Amino acid sequence: MFYTLIIINTLLGAIGGLLIKISSCKENSQRTLIEWILSKEFILGTFFYVIAIIMNIILLKHIQYIVFIACLSLTYVWTLFLSNIYLKEKITRKKLLAISLIIIGTIIVSI
């Protein structure tokens, strides 16, 4: 059950980061700081981050720290794929290698 929550947690963190990045894209660069902070993308991205932080605190009470930190690196995996889908960022061989190493490392530490 806790590993399912970690996956949800890392996905929420990746979505939060994606939304904040979208809120600061070039089309939105003419916004003032207040307009940027009050944009729906920024508010929603911050909301997802806060939920992920609360989940971090709860999960740390139930999972070994070293395992938890290793599993949090899965956020980078989600971020890669979400950025590819929504921001049209390219997935290079180096990125695939890095993601593969993250997944392998997470599995090894979690065993």
In the predicted model, what is the mean pLDDT of residues 79-99? 93
For 8-30, the three-class secondary structure string (H helix, E strand, C coil) is HHHHHHHHHHHHHHHHCCHHHCC
- The answer to whether residue 37 scores a pLDDT higher than 70 is yes
For residue 48, the tally of other CB atoms under 10 A from its CB is 20
- The answer to whether residue 28 scores a pLDDT higher than 70 is no
Q: Nearest 5 degrees, angle CA 75-CA 22-CA 70?
A: 10
CA 46, CA 40: separation in Å to the nearest integer? 10
Is residue 91 helix, strand or coil?
Answer: coil
Span 47-79, pLDDT tens digits? 999 999 999 999 999 988 888 888 888 898 999
pLDDT value of position 81: 93
* Angstrom distances, CA of residue 81 to CA of 8, 40, 60: 15, 22, 26
In the predicted model, what is the mean pLDDT of residues 10-39? 86
pLDDT value of position 27: 66
> What residue ranges do the domains of the chain occupy?
2-110
What's the mean per-residue pLDDT of the chain? 89
